[in-house]
Amino acid sequence: MESAPSSFAGYFDAQFAQDADPWRYRTSWYEARKRALTLAALPRARYRRAFEPGCASGELSAVLAPRCDALLCADFAPRAVQIARLRLAAFGHVRVERLAMPDEWPAGRFDLIVVSEIAYYLGEAGCEALAALATAALDEDGTLVCCHWRHGGEAWMVDSADVHDAFASQAQRASLHRVVHAEDADFLLDVWSAEALSVAQCERTG
């Protein structure tokens, strides 16, 4: 297996230097559809404090923002952070910071954490650490989302199935309940919740 790049920030900055939207987040129907399915999978209509590590250019962040009172977005590539800040400038309750995962996990707790298309870049140990940090930082009524492309990428990336297995293991240890498990032809989507009741059950009991 090829080794990971010595500088992840440099690797991703090189992608964004060539193109402000290197993975076609803004123009791809695949990406738009995946965002819509991710939003639809959230068991709650609104969240107090959300965190999205690996936000890239901020396209997913922009559709999460209207459903959050506060949203922290992070990326470790300086160019991606610049682009995301411009993309999200209209949202006063959204912050974009340069943070390297998993070493610079932010302080505090969140009732929504969205890990999308980032964990497989971190290697097996980094992926395990990210999963442990995410479950530990989740509020008692929180939601954890994990979504990753299934068709591989760079030779050094962790397989998406292994990523989701790592998150599932940590979620089980944290007594979270898996409320969504979708095996799309192109991506895996898992959602865990601290709430054992389904959306419909919550509405009936509420």
pLDDT value at position 79? Answer: 87
CB 119 within 8 A of CB 147: no
Along the 206 residues of the chain, how does pLDDT read in single tens digits? 444 444 556 666 676 667 667 667 788 999 999 999 999 999 999 999 999 999 999 999 999 999 999 999 999 888 889 999 999 999 999 999 999 999 999 999 999 999 999 999 899 999 999 999 999 999 999 999 999 999 876 666 899 999 999 999 999 999 999 999 999 999 999 999 998 878 888 888 86
Q: Please tell me what DSSP assigns to residue 150.
A: S
Model confidence, pTM? 0.90
Token pair 């050094």: residue: 156
- Amino acid 10: pLDDT: 66
User: Which pLDDT score, from 0 to 100, does residue 205 have?
Assistant: 83
Question: What CA–CA distance (Å, rounded) separates 78 from 22?
Answer: 15
Backbone angles phi, psi at 179, to 5 degrees: -100, -20
What pLDDT does residue 3 have? 45
For the chain, strand residue ranges (E) read: 47-53, 68-75, 94-98, 110-116, 138-149, 177-183, 187-193
Domains detected in the chain = 8-205 (3.40.50.150)
Cα separation, 51 vs 152, whole angstroms: 25
- Element at 175 (helix H, strand E): none
